[in-house]
Every structure is written in C-alpha cells, then in structure tokens.
Chains A and B, each alone.
Chain A
Amino acid sequence: MSVSQEVSSDGKKVHISITGRFDYKVSQEFRDAYRHVPGQDGVAYFVNLSDASYMDSSALGMLLLLREHAKCRSGTVILEQPSKQVDDILKVANFEQLFTINNSCPVSVHTESSMSAKL
C-alpha cells in the first residue's frame, strides 16, 4: 500500500502516510484518504512523507487539492518529515510558503479507538 491513513479518536486529526513514489498513480488513493473522512470542521491533516522516495508535480498538485479541501473546512495541512528527495522538490517549489512543514518527529497518533483505517 503506498497510501495509508489513520484518524484520531476525536476525528480532529487525519494522518496520511505515503510510501514509495508519490506520483499521479496514487492520486485516487490520496484523495480517498481525506475525502472519506466523516465531515467536520477544523481537522488537521498530517501528511507523512518520511517514506516517500520521490514526488512529481502531480503530487504537488494533490497537496494543493488537500490544502483547498482543508481551507474550505477551516482545517490545516502539515507536511511531516519529508525525506531528502521529497524535501528538495518541496524546496524548489517553495511550498513552505503554502504549507507548514514539520521536520521533527510526527505527533503521536491516537489509535486507541477503532477509527484507524488502512486504504
């Protein structure tokens, strides 16, 4: 699975992890990872990119779609621990001007509830 998703017990945090190539081939999976979350405002979407080996311009576009999705719902998007290759691509696109990029360890996921789901 190249895209996995976990939702915190209160439904306020959605963690999406990308493994391997983050490109146009996973666009549907990536979209499903946040679209199918029960709708509520103020959700924080964490996109973990530590295991992403590559990112193309379509993937940057997918992040922009998520940003718009979050914006419409007063939510936020945080990109976490981008791998060296992915970080280089984010830097060239200057996406730090659009997203919060967190290079430290990701916030622990509250998976005690049964809301954890894999795509």
Chain B
Amino acid sequence: MNDRTAKNSGYVLVISKTAKTVACIEEILSKERFITVVASDTKQAKTLLVNNQISYIFIDEDLVNGNNNELISSLRFHIGDSYIPIVILASNDDEELLSHCISASCDDFLFMPFTSVALNTKIASLEQLRELKKLHKSSVNEQLVAMQILTSALEQRSVRLDEIKLLSRSKAVFSGDLFLTARHPDGSLNVLLADFTGHGLSASIGALPIADIFSVMTEKGFELDYILECINGKMHNLLPTSMFMACCVLNIDKDLRQVRAWNGGMPDICIREHNTGFLKHKIKSTHIPLGINETILDRFEFEDIEITPGDQLILYTDGMTEALNAEGEMFGDQRLEQCLQQNHSKESIFPEIVDAFNKFCGDINPMDDVTLAYIPCVESLMHVNDIDVSKNIQYSNSRDQSWCWYMELGGSSLCEVNPVPIVLNAIHKISGHSACTDKLSSIMSVLYKNVIEHDASSLNNINLQDINIINNDICNNIENIDGIYIRIGIRKVEHNGCPALLVRMEDSGKGIDEDELLSFINDNCEISIDKYNKGFPLVYELHKLNNYQGAGNRLEAIICDRF
C-alpha cells in the first residue's frame, strides 16, 4: 500500500484473486496517486466499499463468470445513487460475457493485458462521464426546485375547486401545458387551458406571466377579449417566432346556463350531458394560437353555448389524443369520445377516461405533455368561498359598517383608463360582493358620452357597453382634453331597508336639462333622445334613479341587487 498521508486522487477497489492483475493496476495507478484496496470476494468487497470513499471498481472477469451477478448487484445496492463506475477486467472479447456484464449494470471493460496508457485513458474517460453525470444531477435538482416554485406560484394564482378534476402528465420535469381558473367579480368562472410549443423548461417559461395576466385581469373584472388580447401581446413579445401558445378559454356563467368559449389551436372542447353521456356540443378551434400575430383584437369572436346545470365540460391537450401505445397507435379522438359516450350511466366520467387512457398507453411514456380537465357545471362550482377570493377583505355585513370610495379621472387618463374594472374591483375588495358588470358599464358609458356631449353626433351609434371604444373616441374627438374630468363615487347605503350601493358620478360635460329629462322619463321615450344622451333610458331602466342634480352633469343611481 502507498503512503496514505500524502494527498491522494481517491481509492480504487480491485476485486480479483490474481496477484499479478492487482499488482499491475496498483503500480500504474499509484503514479496517479490513487490508493488501491483489494478484495477477493463479495464480503470483503462490500466491507471495503462501505468503509472507503471508492472512486472506481475493477472486477476480474473470473469473479463474474456465468450468470452469477450477485457480486455486481450487491455492489450496485451499496453504491446507490452515487457514481462509482464498475469496470470488468476481461481477458478476451467473449460477447456473451460482455453482454451479461452490461445487463448486470457494469459501466465498462478493460481488456487484459493492458498498458498504463490504456488504464489511464479509461480512467480519464470515466472521469468525463462523472462530470457529465454531476452536471446532469445538479441540473435535474435545479429543475425540481424551480418546478416546485412554479407549481406553487401557479396554484396561488388559481382558484382551487374540488369539483374540477385534472390529469396532468409531463414528458420532462417541466410541463408545457397550463391549466388555470379564476373567479370574475360577477361570480362567473374563467377557465384557461393552454399548450405551449414543445415541452420542458422552455415551454413552461411563459406560464407565470400568463397566469398573472389571467388571474389579475379576471379578478379585476376585465372581459375575456381584453384578457386574451393582453396574453397574446405578452406571448408575442416573449416567445421566439417558432413558439406559440395554443389556448382555449371558457367563461361559465354563475347560473350555469351559458358557456362563452374561445378556442385557438386546441382540440375540441366537449360538452357532455351528465345523465345520458350524449355529447351535445363540441367547441372547435376557430382561431390561430396566441403569440403568432401582434394583435388579434378584431378577430376575437366568442361562441356562446347554452348549457344545463349538470352538464360536463371536457378539455384536453393534443398530448392526450396523440399518446401512443406499444403498437404505435394513437389514443385518438374516437377512443376518447367512445369513452365519454359509453359510460353514460356514470355520473363522473373522469376516472373512466383516466383508466382507459392508462390501459391504452401501458408502459409507454407519452411523447408530449398530457392534460385532461373535467369540469362539472354543478352549483358548488359557483359557490364562492370568501377566504379564497381575498384574505384582505373587510366585510361590511353589518348595517353600521359603511364605506365610500372615490375616483377622479381627468385629461389624458380619460383616454387611457377604463374605470369599469377599477370600480368593480374596489367594490369587490371592500364589500366582498360583486357588482353587475353590465349595469356599471352602462352607467359609466352614459357619463363618458356626457363628457363629450358637444360632439356626440359621431357617437350616436356606439355600443353603450363598450367603454374602451368611448375611451378611444374621447381621444379622437376632443383636441383639447385639458379641464375635462369624470368623478366617480360609491357609497354603501340602505335602500328600502336593504343594503345597496349609491353610485354618484359627475362630469365636465354640458349635462342634460332636468325638466326635459324628467319629461322624457315620464313620456317614456317620446322625446327625441338623440338630443340628450342616448344611453339614458337604458340606465334608468337598469337602476332606480334616485336623484338628478346640478346642471345635468351629475347623476346618482342606486344599485340594489345583492347588496
């Protein structure tokens, strides 16, 4: 044995009964400052392996002859996850022996007799492999940590709903599939399923910004088309030309009567009757995926589908239908549909689909990320758990707990800011309740029109619901925006003994004459409404107009529902 006090390169375990072989290895490796330890049987080898930090193991072929690989498997057991290569010292190229050793998880061979160059080269090549393995291990560890962070970040951004069942399998550590849910202030549920090009880390890098946009914009009351526009813009800027995001989004209304859907590059979304298994509708892809073209706002067309409470929505990525079995066949749309329709007696179809999919694939790993989402449109899906919505809400449940909120927009902010989501968000955050988007949208549209009333002729045909168009029109129609403003105040009040919201708005427009307005209301649309504000009858119908003040540029309305 060499001097063990000198700085050494590591220990080499030689398992051999031939003194000549041991001496040869020891002589060559001692020059490289390796310390050689020798065992002649399995028991000795195990003891030396456990008690020393072994870097390499050399085994004489005489000890691994035949089918007896007890020695190798015993060593492997003790080595565990560490990288300690096992090299067989072979005296001839007996193919059967070589094949047997490799299948028994040996790493390499060295043919005897060998020169010092041959042995040192073998060590050098195994050392390179060690570096690669180390790199791979640290990379996988990093990915696992990053994946945990990403998963937890995505979970925080989604509404957790026990009713929704999800099958999610990724090809690599990271998945390029993304499933999100978010609650709209009007109580409806937004769902997104996306599939980024490729898989692995590069495919999942876009998940976080998309989850942020989707959850924040939904919670603030933005409608789906603006959310999609924003996601598309983000993807267009973030992803290289060759990457995009196939995506489908759904809005399930609070009463479970309608689904609004958009599908850009995803497989059909199935709507299934829960009691018959009948596939009543398929929402097909009608748009290109997101992130390819810069803007597609004018092409966001939604499909509105009537549903019945109890209907089930089945969404999946193409990784599911393109998964192969051992014979190289794809799972396919037909098998999935058969599965959906055949199990008509089953209330929840999810376990049946997963079972059929698993049986089909057997041991074959999917070539792409696989996601299957099952959403039953049941009442509990719409039950808003206040703790989920926000942890920071101050509830105004008691009549004494009043609150008010105020915002003023002036000058260019009138063009740039859409006040509807801000107001809805404020009401939601403060009261814990959601206000009706349509009603607030309408009343604010009226005010916006009033601000620019002196040039209302060009706006007669605009859609009252569309604040953003009005925003743009303000910019387009008013050259000098100095001095124009809109003020919005919200106060929690009591109306006819019930809690309600008083919405007060004031603007810099010329306003509407009170007498004519009242007369107009009394005559119920007999006055020429173009002279005033086209939207007013609608607002009056929607809200209980409480008071009408000032020079016709102030307006108060009470919103009673749900407060």
Contacts and interface: CB of A to CB of B under 8 A. Distances in A.
Interface residues of A, number: 17
B244 interface: yes
A64 B242 contact: yes
A95 B197 CA distance: 15
Given A57-B195, A64-B292, A94 B287 contact: yes
A56 interface: yes
A93 B59 CA distance: 57
A62 interface: yes
Contacts of B266: 92
A62 B198 CA distance: 12
B243 interface: yes
B51 interface: no
Contact of A93 (B198, B241, B243, B285): B285
Interface in B232-248: 241-244, 246
A117 to B, nearest CB: 24
A92 B246 CA distance: 10
A40 interface: no
Given A24-B198, A95-B288, A98-B292, A61 B264 contact: no
A68 B241 contact: yes
Given A56-B368, A94-B264, A94-B265, A61 B288 contact: no
B535 interface: no
A70 to B, nearest CB: 12
Interface residues of B, number: 21
Contacts of B318: 57, 92
Contacts, number: 50
A104 interface: no
Task: Kindly name the residue among B243, B292, B293 whose own CB sees the greatest number of chain A CB atoms within 10 A.
Answer: B292
Nearest to B288: A94
Nearest to B266: A92
A64 B244 contact: yes
6 A-B pairs with the lowest CB-CB distances in the bound complex, closest first:
A61-B242, A57-B197, A93-B265, A94-B288, A92-B285, A65-B242
Overall SS of chain B's interface: loop
B509 interface: no
Contact of B265 (A56, A65, A68, A92): A92
Overall SS of chain A's interface: helix
B198 A58 contact: yes
A32 to B, nearest CB: 15
A24 B200 CA distance: 13
Nearest to B264: A94
A40 B266 CA distance: 37
Contacts of B244: 57, 60-61, 64
B330 to A, nearest CB: 9
Contacts of A94: 264-265, 285-288
Contact of B289 (A24, A91, A93): A93
Contacts of B195: 57
A98 B241 contact: no
B267 interface: yes
A97 interface: yes
Contacts of B286: 94
A62 B288 contact: no
Nearest to A65: B242
Interface string A68-85: 100000000000000000
A61 B246 contact: no
Contact of A64 (B241, B265, B267): B241
Interface string B263-304: 011110000000000000000011111001100000000000
Interface string B338-376: 000000000000000000000000000000100000000
A65 B285 CA distance: 22
A64 B291 CA distance: 11
Contacts of A95: 288
Contact of A61 (B243, B287, B293): B243
Contact of A58 (B242, B267, B287, B288): B242
Given A56-B368, A60-B197, A92-B267, A97 B288 contact: yes
A92 B286 CA distance: 8
A24 B242 CA distance: 11
A93 B288 CA distance: 5
Contacts of B287: 94, 97
Interface string A84-104: 000000011111011000000
Contacts of A61: 197-198, 241-244
Task: Kindly name the residue among A57, A61, A98 whose own CB sees the greatest number of chain B CB atoms within 10 A.
Answer: A57
A9 B238 CA distance: 40
A93 B246 contact: yes
A10 B197 CA distance: 36
Contacts of A64: 241-242, 244, 292
Nearest to B289: A93
Nearest to A85: B330
A7 B375 CA distance: 52
Task: Kindly name the residue among A58, A61, A68, A98 whose own CB sees the greatest number of chain B CB atoms within 10 A.
Answer: A61
A4 to B, nearest CB: 21
A61 B246 CA distance: 12
Given A61-B242, A61-B243, A94-B264, 19 more contacts: A57-B246, A58-B197, A58-B242, A61-B198, A61-B244, A64-B241, A64-B244, A64-B292, A65-B241, A65-B242, A92-B265, A92-B266, A92-B318, A93-B285, A94-B265, A94-B288, A95-B288, A97-B287, A98-B288
Interface string B289-323: 10011000000000000000000000000100000
A65 B240 CA distance: 9
Interface in A22-68: 24, 56-58, 60-62, 64-65, 68
Contacts of B285: 91-94
Contacts of A65: 241-242
A66 to B, nearest CB: 10
A33 B132 CA distance: 33
Nearest to B198: A58
Nearest to A98: B288
